[in-house]
Each structure stands twice: as C-alpha cells, then as structure tokens.
Amino acid sequence: MSSVAVLTSGGDAPGMNAAIQAIVRVAASQGLDVAGVLDGYDGLIDGTSRPLTQRTEDGLIVPVPDVDSAGPLGGTILGSSRCPRFHEPEYRAQAAEHLRSLDAIGLIVIGGNGSIAGAHAIANEMEIPVVGIPASIDNDIGLTREALGVDTALNTIVEACDRISDTARSHRRAFIVEVMGRDSGYLAMAAAAATAADAVLLPEVSKSFDETVDAVAECIRDSLSASRKKRRTLVIKAEGVGIPTHMLVDEVEAQLEDIDNLEVRGTVLGHLVRGGNSSFRDR
C-alpha cells in the first residue's frame, strides 16, 4: 500500500503536532498510510521512521492513538533536528533511497526556512511531490503571512509581558524584555504593539551600541518623568539585536543613576516562547 511521509525539521513550533494530526486524518480518509520520519532530515538520512496509521479489524486505516491526542500539544511528537549533513548531495541521495523504501508517493515537510529549502532540494532532485508547511515562530519565511507557531508564541510573550508589567508598576521599574526571532523582529514588533510597550528594538533598524543605549535611556527617562506619573516602562528587544540584554541593562542603568530609586531589570524569555499548547489559530 502506498503511503505519505511526513517530517518536522528545525526549531520546533506550536502547531506542528496539529499539522501532523491533520495530515494523518486526511491521508487515512483517502486510504493512505502515513509514515512519520523521526528527528527531521537526520531521520530521513538514517532511515528511522514509525507508522502514524494503523488498520482496524475491518480494514479501515485510522491514526495511531498518540496522533489522535497530539493536536493540542506543543513541540513535535516526531522529534526534530538541524541537519548540516543534508547540505551534501551524497546524504540527500541516501535520504531519497530511504524515502523510496517507505513506498512514499509524497513527502510533507513541516518547518522553517532551512527546512523548506531542504524540501525544495528534494523536489528538484527526486521524482516525488513535496509539500512544505511553514512552521516557525520567527515568521521569517518568504511569501508566508503567518507561519505555524507564531500566534502561540505571541500569546506567550504577551502573557509574560503582562505579568512583568504587574510587578514593574508595583515598584516603579523599567524592564527590558528579550524575545526570540533570530534575525527577524516580527515577534518583538507585534508584541510591542499588543502590550503597549514604550519602545521596541529591532534588528532591521541598524543602530550602534551607543545609539541603542542612549535611545533606551532617553525612553525610560521620559516615560518615568514626574510629569507623566507612569510607574512602568517596558522595552521589548528582539533576539537579533546584537547587544546582550544584561549588558544593555547595565549601560542604561549607568546613564540613569541620577534618577532616585530607579531600577532597570532585564528578562530573556528565550525558549519559553517556543513551548506550550498551541493556540486556536495554530491548530
């Protein structure tokens, strides 16, 4: 019986499991088995996979139990990896052989920029249809309005910033919060709008170290001035901005030492942003 193969590759993103679940359900309804390739392109090269469908006593093809319950979960039940070997033609040829051994009539790749580039390479080098499903919280995939994982990540960031704002207002503090996104400032920009942040630092806007420090210090000084009577300042910093958050906090605090009882704190949300059950949009 012919099958469809599916893999998840690169950084995990909420919604990957929902996509796997949808693929398996639709394929099963069309009488196709589904093979799940384990650990991304590494699994395709090494020939490691597992069935995502099973047959009932009356011959129907249905999802295996853990796929049936996987939809809401963050991460990926198939595992993922970044696979430098896939850049080499010899390893892509090895992957192609393993794909043929699965009797796959098509391959579905769920992942980010590098993963979609790998899917493109397979499509060019093999006589098999390949579909790429963009999944990356960075939202940096060309011709894609919103990749899987973005909505969940933004909701996580907004919730974290709301909580940080609660404590900031209690103590009249300024917070610099770093969010993920690699070289894209999309998460930072969108989160800044949603949380009414006082400023946002984006990698797409090139500033020197001194210019960045001066701009953040001026923002905090203005925001917490006596005339405004504010008690919270929130600055969101994209991961791709090339100044470590702790260093930025130290330099800004040094510029603002003339303000009594002012504390500037830094929080790096990091991989917290990539986890969690997927939102409605990502499912």
Q: What count of other Cβ atoms lies within 10 Å of the Cβ of residue 283? A: 18
DSSP characters for 108-153?
EEEESHHHHHHHHHHHHHSSS-EEEEEB-TT---TT-SS-BTHHHH
Q: Is 198 annotated in the active site?
A: no
Please count the CA atoms within 13 angstroms of the CA of 27 that sit on its side-chain side: 29
Number of Cβ within 10 Å of residue 81's Cβ equals: 17
H helices present in 126-243, as ranges: 150-171, 186-195, 209-223
Torsion angles phi and psi, residue 20, rounded to 5: -60, -45
Cβ atoms 17, 278 nearer than 8 A: yes
Active-site position among 39, 138, 140, 198: 138
Take residue 243 and report the two structure tokens written for it: 């100044």
The Cα–Cα gap between 176 and 233 comes to: 8
Give the C-alpha separation, 261 to 273, whole Å: 31
The DSSP call for residue 216 is H
Which residue numbers are catalytic?
A: 138
